[in-house]
Amino acid sequence: MNTEKQQTHNARSEVTGVAEAPDDAPGGPGGGLFGGMFAHGRVEDQVGDEAWLRALLDAEAALARACARGGVMGAADAEAIAAVCVPERFDAGAIGRAAAASGNPVVPLVRELTRAVGGDAARHVHYGATSQDIMDTAAVLVSRRAAAVIRSDADALCEVLAVLTERHRSTLMPGRTLLQQALPTTFGLVAAGWLEAVGGASARLGASAELPAQLGGAAGTLASLGEAGPRVAAAFADELGLAEPALPWHTDRGRVAELAGALARLCGAVGKAAGDIVLLAQTEVGEVVEAGGSGVGGSSTLPHKRNPVAAVSARAGAAQAPGLAATLFAAQVQEHQRAAGAWQSEWVPLTQLLRVTGSAVAWLRASVERLEARPERMRANLGLTGGLPLAERVTTDLAPELGRLAAHDLVKAACAESVDSGRRLVDVLAERLAGRRTAAQLAALLDPAGYLGAADAFVDRALSAHRSRARTVTEERR
C-alpha cells in the first residue's frame, strides 16, 4: 500500500473506530467491498492468496528435503529447490488463472518453480508427489495457521468474558425463555454460558486443526519413490511439523469434515452470544450497550442510533458457517483413489469458513470489550411483571401444605387476576392466602435475589473450567 493510500486508510479507521481492510486487500471473499466485515481481525493474513501460496511452497520445499533425507535426491539439489520456494518470486493471480487448464493451481506453480530453480536441480522439483499431495498439505498448513490465530483471539475473548462473568455474578436480570421473562438469573451466569460455549468450542478446534500431512503419489501408493516411499513420507511430515498418517487420505475426507464441524461449532457459540447481545441492546430492553467512539454504531439515516455493530458483524459472519460446513461434509463422498470434483470443491468453502470464523471471533471480542452492562435497567425490567416470574417459588412453598396441583392452581389463578386487574401479585396472593402467609412472607418469596438456585455455583464451575483450559493452552504453547 503506498503512503497516500495508507494515510487515507488510517484516517478512515480513526473515524469509524474499527480497523478496516486495506484498499488493496486481496480480491474475492476476503477483500474488496465486504472485507471490512468478513475479513476482520488477523485471520485474513493466514487464509488469503499469499498465505495459500506460502503453504504450497512450504510443502514443495519440505518434499525436496524429505526426498534428500530418503536418499532419492542430493541434499544440494533439495536446498536449491527450497531456496526458490519464496512467495515473493511468484504471482498468485497468474498461477490462479493458469490453473483453469489443469484443474488445480499446483500444476502451473510447479511449472514456474521448475523454471525458477533451473539447472540439474530442476528435474527433482515435485519429485514423487501428485498435485493433490501438495494441495492437501497446503490446506493443512493454512488451516493450522489460521486456527492458531482464531484460537488466540478466542482465548483473549474468553479472558474478557471471564472478567465479565466474575464482575456480574450477582447482577440480577430476567431470565428469558421463548423471548418471554421466565425466572430471574444473573448477568454473570449469562456471560458464563457464553464463556463455556466459546471456550469449549475453541479447545475442540485446536484438536481438529491438527491434520496430518498428505503424500501418496498419483494413486496413493507412492510407487514413483519405490522402497524409499515410506521413508520420504515420514520425513515429509517431519519437515513440516505435521503428523504422519497411517496411509494417504486422498479420498478419506473425514478429517476435513471434522475440522469444518469444529469451525461451525465455534461460529455457533459466537453467533449465540452475539445474538444475545443484540437482543439485550434493543431500545425496549436496554440492558447492555456497545460503547464506542464517535461514529461507531451509527446509522446512514438516523442520527440517534447506537447500533451494536460489533455483535451484528459477529453474528453475520457466524451465520455463514453452516452452509460452508455443509459443502465440506458433502465433499466426503469421493470416487475411487482420487476425486473428480468433490476434492476441488473444498478449497473455497474451507478458506471462507476459516475466514468468517476468525472474523466472527474477532468481532465478538470487540463487542465484549466495548460492552457496558446496565444493572439498573436489568432490575427495572425484572419488576415489569410485578413478581410474576417468581410465581413458581410460591407454588413450591405452598406444595407441602396444599399439594402440588392445588398449589399450582391457586397461584395460577392469582397470576391471572394480577394480570387482568393490574394489581401487584403480592397483594392478590396476600388476599387469597390470608392466614397462611403474610404479605411480608410473600414479598420475600417474590424477591428475585432469593431464587437464583445454583447460579453462583455454575458461575464458579464456568470460571474453573476456563482456568483449566487456559492452563492447557499455556502448556501447549511452551
* CATH number of the structural domain spanning residue 299: 1.20.200.10
Contacts from 110-116 at CB under 8 Å and sequence distance 24+?
Answer: 110/60, 110/134, 113/57, 113/60, 113/81, 113/84, 113/85, 116/84, 116/89, 116/90
Query: Does residue 299 carry a catalytic annotation?
Result: yes
- State how many domains the chain has: 3
Rg (CA), the chain: 29
45 and 194 fall within a common domain: no
285 and 324 fall within a common domain: yes
Instruction: Report pLDDT digits (tens) over 74-95.
Output: 999 999 999 999 999 999 999 9
Q: Which of 299, 421, 464, 468 is an active site residue?
A: 299
Instruction: Report pLDDT digits (tens) over 379-438.
Output: 999 988 888 989 999 999 999 999 999 999 999 999 999 999 999 999 999 999 999 999
| 28, part of any domain | no
How far is 262 from 268, CA to CA, in rounded Å?
10
| pLDDT at residue 301 tops 90 | no
What are the E-state strand segments in 187-328?
288-290
Count Cα atoms within 13 angstroms, Cβ side, for 257: 15
333 and 425 fall within a common domain: no
145 and 197 fall within a common domain: yes
| 164, part of any domain | yes
Instruction: Report pLDDT digits (tens) over 303-341.
Output: 445 789 999 999 999 999 999 999 999 999 999 999 999
436 and 299 fall within a common domain: no
| 92, part of any domain | yes
pLDDT at 215: 98
Query: Does residue 377 carry a catalytic annotation?
Result: no
328 and 403 fall within a common domain: no
Report the CATH number that the domain containing residue 421 is assigned in CATH. Answer: 1.10.40.30
108 and 232 fall within a common domain: yes
Q: How confident is the model at residue 227 (pLDDT cuts 50, 70, 90)?
A: very high
Q: Which of 111, 204, 231, 338 is an active site residue?
A: 338
Domain membership of residue 424 as a residue range? 387-445
